[in-house]
Amino acid sequence: MNKPIPAPDAPQPIPGARLLFSNDASVAQLNHGSFGMVPIAVQRAQQRLRDEMEANPHRFFSVGLEERITHVRRHLATFVGADPDGSALVNNASTGTSIVLSSLGLAADDEIVTTDHGYGAVDLAVDEICRRTGAVHRVAPVPLVADDATVTAAVLAAITPRTRLVIVDLITAATAQVFPVRRIIEAVRAAHGERVAIHIDAAHGPGLLDEPVRELDADFWVGNLHKWAYAPRGTALLAVAPAWRARIRPLVLSWSTEAGFPASLEWLGAHDYTPWLAAPTGLFVLRSLGLETVRRHNTALAEHGRRLVADALGVEVLPATGLPMTLVPLPPGVAADLTSAVALRRRISDELSAEVGLAAWHGRGYLRLSAQVYNRVDDFQRLADGLPKLIR
């Protein structure tokens, strides 16, 4: 058993922050990174929009809606440092990635490069487009703990003369690692110029890291606002470089298809637009608490909590990443494949009243624990107290 490393001091709660959310306090909600948690003020803003829509649907959809969507897009794009005219609102990061894949015009033997830390739904989308077009999916293996140079070298090594697209995570979903996307983009550009397009999957980026999109020089970037920016679920932003905007095609054709990007992606007919329209209220809540205050609190609490859980399990403590979403290895043989990982996550929910992220990666199970302003040390302590007995 590894010698335990004392957990760093837990941060003081942000006064009043817990009251801003309506989550069930009897459940240790330690999986904010998956579905987020919508503040009460944002829920109410969205409900007012729903009421407006239902009071007169014809007027809601036909008078001024496109202008309202444009206003929200400009607000959210400014927050992440993207070009508002080169961005489009989409439902989530997976939707944005599927739009990119379907717009590339792939042919047989073209290649798409991802890493073995990529999000499962993105891998499925890549495999499906390869099946339909004859393209090839190449996966760059990256160690769980790797410095920036190692990650960059691994991606470069997977690129061949047939590579059309590289997809890199800003923050990896399963393994909660920060990838050096700026360095990777610069290295790919230096080696291959504009021949290889680069797509940044920043599903966890908005609200979590300062990564101004316009300075990255990526061809495509997509990020969710519902995870760490307090927007309603179903709110994401896809940013596209100027050279690609005319080639972007929506997954579903509607009345604005001929208007081109971004309207062709944003107008979906009788779609529920209330998550998008309420999203700026989420940014207002985040800024009212203080963006840096929230980040410092959540990161410190996550670090404290993962040390508690790792100590209780007698497992190694991985290097800190400075994120409020952290990784704890499970003992060897526990949740080592997808089926057993799903089963253990459900048992943790049912028997410990705790919600966690749990993934099997390269034959080992990992807990992914998130901290948010509504969490307390007791949430992590409950997991630390109950999980060792449960997995035995």
What's the pLDDT tens digit per position in 331-349? 999 999 999 999 999 999 9
Render pLDDT for 191-225 as a digit per residue (tens, 0 to 9).
999 999 999 999 999 999 987 898 899 999 999 99
- As a whole number, the mean pLDDT across the chain is 95
Using alpha carbons, select from 265, 257, 282, 244 the residue that is nearest to residue 89: 265
**Which candidate, 164, 193, 188, 168, places its Cα nearest to that of 105?**
164
pLDDT tens digits along 240-272? 999 999 999 999 888 888 888 999 999 988 899
CB neighbours (10 Å) of residue 350?
9
In this prediction, residue 2 has a pLDDT band, given cuts at 50, 70 and 90, of: very low
Contacts of 68 (CB under 8 A, 6+ apart): 273, 277
pLDDT exceeds 80 at position 29: yes
Give the pTM.
0.94
Same CATH fold assignment for domains 17-39+290-391 and 42-285:
no
> What per-residue confidence (pLDDT) applies to 7?
58
CATH of 17-39+290-391 given 3.40.50.300, 1.10.3720.10, 3.40.630.30, 3.90.1150.10: 3.90.1150.10
Rg (CA), the chain: 21
Q: If residue 221 lies in a helix (H) or strand (E), which one and from where to where?
A: strand 220-224
Contacts of 131 (CB under 8 A, 6+ apart): none
Least confident segment among 70-74, 76-80, 207-211, 320-324: 207-211
Would you state the pLDDT for residue 107? 96
CB atoms within 10 A of CB 389: 10
Does 262 sit behind a cis peptide bond, omega within 30 degrees of 0 on the bond before it? yes
Residues 239, 83 contacting (CB under 8 angstroms): yes
Supply 14's token pair. Answer: 């942000």
Distances (CA, A) of 62 to 49, 65, 256, 269, 307: 15, 7, 13, 10, 53
Q: Cβ(97)–Cβ(222) under 8 Å?
A: yes
Q: Are 307 and 317 in contact (CB under 8 A)?
A: yes
Backbone angles phi, psi at 351, to 5 degrees: -95, -25
pLDDT above 50 for 72: yes
Q: Where do we find the tokens 């990526």? A: 218
Query: Is the CB of residue 356 less than 8 Å from the CB of residue 368?
Result: yes
Please report how many Cα atoms fall inside a 13 Å half-sphere around the Cα of residue 32, on the Cβ side. Answer: 30
DSSP output for 223-261? EESTTTS-PPSS-EEEEE-HHHHTT---SS--TTGGG-T
Percentage of residues in the chain having pLDDT higher than 70:
98
pLDDT at 65: 96
Fold held by 42-285: Aspartate Aminotransferase; domain 2 (3.40.640)
For position 254, what pLDDT does the model report? Answer: 84
DSSP codes, 93-135 = HHHHHHHHHHHS---TT-EEEEETTS-HHHHHHHHHHHHHH--
Q: What distances in angstroms separate CA 353 from CA 83, 177, 284, 286, 339, one per listed residue?
A: 43, 27, 31, 27, 20
Whole-angstrom CA distances from 184 to 302, 332, 347, 356 are 27, 32, 39, 31
User: Residue 4 — very low, low, confident or very high, per pLDDT cuts 50/70/90?
Assistant: very low
Spatial distance between the Cα atoms of 138 and 120, rounded to a whole number of angstroms: 15
DSSP state letters, 48-89: HHHHHHHH-HHHHHHSSHHHHHHHHHHHHHHHHT--GGGEEE
Q: What is the mean pLDDT of residues 161-172?
A: 98
Residue 276 has what pLDDT?
98
Dmax (CA) of the chain: 66
Whole-number Å distance between alpha carbons of 118 and 173: 7
> Measured in whole angstroms, how far is the alpha carbon of residue 5 from the centre of its chain?
29
Query: pLDDT value at position 212?
Result: 83
Domain assignments of the chain as residue spans, ordered by start? 17-39+290-391, 42-285
Which phi and psi (to 5°) does residue 264 adopt? -65, -25
CB 124 within 8 A of CB 150: no
Residue type present at position 299: T
